[in-house]
Amino acid sequence: MKHYLITGGCGFIGGHLAHELSAAGHRVTVLDDFSSGREDNAPPEARIVRGCVTDGALLSELAGTCDGIVHLAAIASVEAAADDPERAVAVNVGGTRNALAAARSGNIPLVYASSAAVYGDAGARRVRESDRCAPISDYGAQKLECERELRGIGPLATIVRPFNVYGPRQHPASPYSGVIARFIALCRTGEPLRINGDGSQSRDFVYIADIVRLLTAALKREAGEPLTVNGCTGQTVTVLELAGAIAAACGTEPDIRHGPARAGDILHSCGDPDLAAASLGFKARTPLDAGLRETVAWQRGTDQ
Ligand SMILES: NC(=O)c1ccc[n+]([C@@H]2O[C@H](COP(=O)([O-])OP(=O)(O)OC[C@H]3O[C@@H](n4cnc5c(N)ncnc54)[C@H](O)[C@@H]3O)[C@@H](O)[C@H]2O)c1
């Protein structure tokens, strides 16, 4: 049995990871400030500490009894980071420096959730980890800066670049919530799905259980060189196709309204999954329609 610290462990990804590690018999400590997370996302047996990752002393103290850190706490979207740029730098960069210092002083592995946003607008091809990174948002630039600093700690760091993660417990009410959660909620109430532009923009959607498997594999990695891997499927769907698939999963006809294309939107985003497969044995295995069914079922369950 090991003891892991998950920063942001009451968030969407962190809550699922906390459940998984706990179910596997590990002790889990969560550090979360509840800015977007919810206590009931984490398993009841986890120790939950309310606090901020900008508090380096607290992070180091918590990490002191742990065998590894998964650092997920962040102002976790392009829009949210743009809304409060100063706070975003303090949390996204400063918080990661604190996680790095805690891992270094405890000589324990650190898994960091970066983002596909580091690539910027790379076109329709599958992007590889070795490709040039040219983020077009402050959020992406903050993630890239943290990656650079993390690689400096040597063999203990694994950097995961999730693409578009979706699944149960991604709450649709948040203005920063992913498109899948929002579209499902709209379909279920019979409201139109508003698409920016013609809907030909495409994304690589990866199901939450797959990302949790990847983070877990990264955490258990034997010491070696620092590693950076995509968290992706290597497949894309257009937003228009997605709207149709979500309507089908909800058992409705899609009511689609097109609005103006959003300035600065990345048109295509697709990751190359080969390095994660070769280095960590990871392959996303949840087809989009199956993941959508689970996500719809979860949203329906929240009505009761
Ligand atoms: N969801 C995705 O599609 C996706 C894609 C790429 C990268 N990521 C990254 O994965 C990580 C987790 O994302 P998520 O989707 O679970 O987001 P989320 O907002 O659901 O979770 C983030 C958690 O961190 C907590 N938090 C925020 N600021 C904090 C602070 N200063 N101190 C302590 N806790 C704090 C929040 O309360 C929340 O529980 C983030 O770093 C995000 O940038 C997510």
* pLDDT confidence tier of residue 276, bands split at 50, 70 and 90: very high
Looking at every residue in the chain, the average pLDDT score rounds to 95
Sort residue 190 into left (φ over 0), alpha (ψ -120 to 50) or beta.
left
Q: What is the pLDDT of residue 128?
A: 98
Kindly give the distance from the C-alpha atom of residue 35 to the centroid of ligand 1, in angstroms, as a whole number: 9
The DSSP string of 76-95 is -SHHHHHHSHHHHIIIIIIH
User: Which amino acids are annotated catalytic?
Assistant: 139
Percent with pLDDT over 90 in the chain: 89
Which residue type sits at 103? A
Question: Bigger pLDDT: 185 or 303?
Answer: 185
Atom of ligand 1 nearest to the CA of 165: 3
Q: Mean pLDDT over residues 133-149, rounded?
A: 96
Q: What is the pLDDT of residue 211?
A: 98
Report pLDDT digits (tens) over 196-224. Answer: 999 999 999 999 999 999 999 999 998 77
CA 91–ligand 1 middle distance (angstroms) = 11
Q: Of ligand 1's atoms, which has the minimum distance to the CA of residue 95?
A: 31
Closest to 302 in 3D by CA, of 164, 165, 170, 166: 170
Burial state string for 90-111 with b = 16 or more CB within 10 A and e = fewer than 16: ebbbbbbbbbbebbbebebbbb
pLDDT, one tens digit per residue, over 16-43 is 999 999 999 999 999 999 999 999 999 9
Q: How far is the CA of 228 from the centre of ligand 1 (A)?
A: 19
Q: How far apart are CA 283 and CA 130, in angstroms?
A: 19
d(C-alpha 145, C-alpha 92), whole Å = 10
Residue nearest to atom 12 of ligand 1 (CA): 72
Name which of 234-238, 239-243, 252-256, 282-286 the model is least confident about.
252-256
Q: What is the mean pLDDT of residues 137-162?
A: 92
**Ligand 1 neighbourhood includes 164 CB (under 6 angstroms):** yes
pLDDT of residue 155: 61
In tens, the pLDDT along 151-165 reads 987 668 999 999 999
Distance 14 CA to ligand 1 centre (A): 8
Residue ID of nearest Cα to ligand 1 atom 25: 8
- Is residue 135 in contact with ligand 1, taking CB distance under 6 Å? no
DSSP state of 191: P
